[in-house]
Amino acid sequence: MKLFLKLAIPIAFIILAFLFVKVLISKKRPDVTRVAEVIAPQVDVLDVDVNNHQPPVLTYGTVQSYFETTLTPQLSGQITEVAPAFRVGNMVKKKALLARIDATDYLAVLARESSNLTNARRALVEEEIKAKQAAQDWTASGRDLSSASDFVLRKPQLKAARASIESAIAAETKAKADIERTMIRAPYDAVVIKRSASVGNYASPQQALGKLIATEKVEVRLPLTAEQVAIVQLPRILEATSNQNPDQQKVVFTSATKEGAEWQGELVRIEPSIDPKNQVAYVIAEIEKPYHAEPEPLVVGSFVNARIPGRVIDQSYKIPEAALVNDAYVWVVDEGNKLCRVDAQRVYGHATNVYLRISDQVLEGFGLKSPLRIVIRPLATFKHGREVDPMSVSSKL
């Protein structure tokens, strides 16, 4: 009996547990399958239409002198006068007297050379009379004049006398030029940037008296990248005999240190070589009368920013640079609010915008037409054909 109970009780517990579990399973509610709701992500789009754009090209440079002259005397002597205008910062006119060297010795040389010229002319007159008399004497002797030698007719003496006059004239001309050179004059309209001449100093050809910079015009050397060169109308490389370039392009210059001031210039030439390190080309711009500009003069050594009008980029789109992915494509929202990955060609970038072209065949392939709704902040998770919730933003972005 005891053995029976030991076997029956565990079996009964197992049966009861099985029945209990079965009851619980029968009362379990069936699982309800729920379909997750798909939420279209919200994207910012900009309505962009195809148009002709003329973006500016921005570059920079340092103002350089067009002419810069170190004043060095051509002769020696004591400086007897320095003009009041010959001071650093002053403007001087062309041929204005800046300094004077003592001309006493050179006046004496001029007097001597003038005397030599007079004597040479007198000697020539005498030789002419002697030559005429020699010819008469030869013919009076009954001989033919053609048989007389040049020496008898005094032709070499006449030639020497005439050469003496030419030498005396040249010497007198040089003496007059030396007197003129004792007066140091400005070679052009200029501003004085350095002066070392003082009254009483001894001037010599090895010692500079000052330095001048031309005020007629200045130059600015401007670097252009390959992308900028592609949309700038560059001046042609001209021969040295040509003074005019029909391809001159206007340039506007500004300076961060002179707020509100602008200077107008022109591109006049391009350097015939490209920097091999960075593939930058350099163009030269000229600014007329920079020291007389209003409201502020433009002085040599100033750092300036340059703004050059670019060529017209026809049939192009202007979009924020962030909207162009890898410089290769943009995301466009079609009429069904689905994303389209559209290949684009970057033409030029300026500030925070980029100018690009999209072929009509590509747009037709996606059923798109201008104006395009371009996503301005594309995400890395975007997929072609994905539905989105577009929100238009201001075109001023």
From the list 202, 209, 218, 217, the residue with the least C-alpha distance to 97 is 209
Please tell me if the domain spanning 45-53+313-392 has the same topology as the one spanning 215-309. no
The residues with which 211 forms a beta bridge, in sequence order, are 70, 194
Contact 302, 267 (CB under 8 A): no
Q: What is the pLDDT of residues 72-118, one digit of tens each?
A: 999 999 999 999 999 999 999 999 999 999 999 999 999 999 999 99
pLDDT of residue 240: 44
Count Cβ neighbours within 10 Å for each residue of 258-286 and write b for 16 or more, e otherwise.
eeebebebbbbbbeeeeeeeeebbbbbbb
The DSSP string of 204-227 is: -TTS--EEEEESSEEEEEEEE-HH
Q: What's the angle, vertex CA 271, arms to CA 268 and CA 274, rounded to 5?
A: 140
Whole-model pTM? 0.71
Q: What is the pLDDT of residues 41-58, one digit of tens each?
A: 889 999 999 999 999 999
Contact 165, 121 (CB under 8 A): yes
> What is the Cα Rg of the chain in Å?
47
CA gap 369, 357 in Å, rounded? 13
pLDDT of residue 28: 62
Reply yes or no on domain 215-309 having CATH 2.40.30.170.
yes
- Rounded to the nearest 10 degrees, the angle between the axes of helix 104-140 and helix 155-181 is 170
Q: List the CATH code of the domain at 45-53+313-392.
A: 2.40.420
Residue 52, C-beta contacts closer than 8 angstroms, at least 6 positions apart: 312, 313, 314, 315, 316
Select from 3.40.220.10, 2.40.50.100, 3.40.50.720, 3.40.190.10 the CATH code of 68-100+187-213: 2.40.50.100
Q: Mean pLDDT over all residues of the chain?
A: 87
* Stretch 233-261: mean pLDDT: 73
Instruction: Enumerate the domain spans of the chain.
Output: 45-53+313-392, 68-100+187-213, 104-181, 215-309
pLDDT of residue 248: 74
